[in-house]
Structure 1
Amino acid sequence: MTHSVAWTDGRWTNEPAEVVAEGDGLRVTAREGSDAWRLTSYGFIHSSEHALLATMDPESAVEVQFRLDLAEQFDQAGIFVKVDDHSWVKAGVELSDGEESLGAVVTRGASDWSLSPVPAWAGRLVTVRGSWSGNALTIRARVDDEPWRLVRVAPLETSGPVTAGPFCCAPTRSGLTVHFTSWRTTPPDTGLHPST
């Protein structure tokens, strides 16, 4: 069963510069320098992301929708799935080297990063979905009502609590405001590949 999550049900990992409720949506303004990353390639640890998280149950999925409006290097928005400070996944769209790209960062002690350009998604409604089933988190995304795209399959095995929800970061500037339009929980995906 699909369930809309109230924005008030979540708790921020780090308070944004500003949060404004607008109709059913939420406008979140990121602080300059906000980011989530651990060690790989850059050597630093950043845990200043703005993630609004609520409990995520096993065998469930979380979906976050937002209007894609990024302007500066590394502006980013999507979903954040957190086990602890050393184990988490962020997935969504990021502006990298002048181009909107769909991707994910999977962190298990150290971060990795994958991106695929989606410049045609600019200005449109993007939905990112994280589905936790068995020992895996499957990330999919789509723009408007187009078909889902598989973004990433990552291990997710834990006996501890998992939290998930919308996030945004602005590593290089102030003034990024992301308009989140929905946050929902749903049953998990029935399989990794569509039946043929």
Structure 2
Amino acid sequence: MSLAGLLEAGRWTHEPERAVLEGDRLLVTAVEGSDAWRTTSYGFVHDSEHALVQQLDGSAAVEVSFVLDYAEQFDQAGVFLRVDERTWIKAGVEHSDGLPQVGAVVTAGASDWSVAPVPDWTGRTVTVRASRDGDAVTIRAWAEGEEPRLVRVAPLLPDASVSAGLFCAAPTRSGLTVTFTGHRVGPADDRLH
């Protein structure tokens, strides 16, 4: 499904400040303070991310592409899978400690976080893919011109009703606009690695 189709058929978990189609790109401006996190280490619950999602039934994959041109602390964009307010996964690139970091937050009551620095992805189009099959979600990411790399394999109940799509958030500032360049849904990956 194209970005225009997703904008028409999908629903926002939380409305962004602005979402505008410019040709085949979707520019999403996040509300200052938006984020997704539950409890672990920090003690707070943030349930204010901007995820544009649609139903993702059974064995399937969702892929989101965006331009990595943001550079403020905790700016983030990628793919979001939501079961409910206590069960969700976000994966993508978050700017943390001065560097873009590819990673994932998996939440089942409480959140965890894993990251790896990807400074050479700055200024490039990044794609994040979440492939749901059986009791797991396999997350891969890559910058244009590279091969996909495994980011995470996370558990997800096979009978869970899941909504999935693109997301962004700006926990610490105003003015973050993410340029999304693609959204695709297709069959689940046939390999783990």
Mapping for residues 39-118 of structure 1, pairs under 5 Å: 39-118=39-118
- For residues 146-187 of structure 1, give each alpha carbon's deviation from its aligned partner in whole angstroms, at most 9, with x where no partner exists: 100000000011434210000000000000000001111011
1:58–1:145 distance in 2 versus 1, CA, 3 Å: farther
The match for 1:148 is: 148
In 2, the alpha carbon distance for the partners of 1:181 and 1:124 equals: 11
Aligned length: 191
In 1, the alpha carbon distance for the partners of 2:187 and 2:94 equals: 27
Structure 1 stretches of at least 4 aligned residues deviating more than 2 Å after TM superposition: none
In 1, the alpha carbon distance for the partners of 2:130 and 2:85 equals: 19
- The answer as to 2:33 corresponding to 1:33 is yes
AA in 2 matched with 1:47: D
In 1, the alpha carbon distance for the partners of 2:9 and 2:68 equals: 24
AA in 2 matched with 1:154: A
What's the C-alpha RMSD, in Å, of the aligned pairs?
1.0
Unaligned runs of 5+ in 2: none
Unaligned runs of 5+ in 1: none
Q: What percent identity do the matched residue pairs reach?
A: 62
In 2, the alpha carbon distance for the partners of 1:11 and 1:153 equals: 26
SS in 1 for 2:166: strand
In the alignment, is the contact (CA less than 8 A) between 1:4 and 1:185 conserved in 2?
Answer: no
The match for 1:178 is: 178
State TM-score, norm by structure 2. Answer: 0.96
Deviates more, 1:4-13 or 1:165-174: 4-13
AA in 1 matched with 2:37: W
State TM-score, norm by structure 1. Answer: 0.95
In the alignment, is the contact (CA less than 8 A) between 1:94 and 1:101 conserved in 2?
Answer: yes
In the alignment, is the contact (CA less than 8 A) between 2:80 and 2:165 conserved in 1?
Answer: yes
In 2, the alpha carbon distance for the partners of 1:61 and 1:93 equals: 18
AA in 1 matched with 2:129: R
- For residues 116-175 of structure 1, give each alpha carbon's deviation from its aligned partner in whole angstroms, at most 9, with x where no partner exists: 000000010000000001110000001003100000000011434210000000000000
In 2, the alpha carbon distance for the partners of 1:62 and 1:159 equals: 17
In 2, the alpha carbon distance for the partners of 1:27 and 1:103 equals: 22
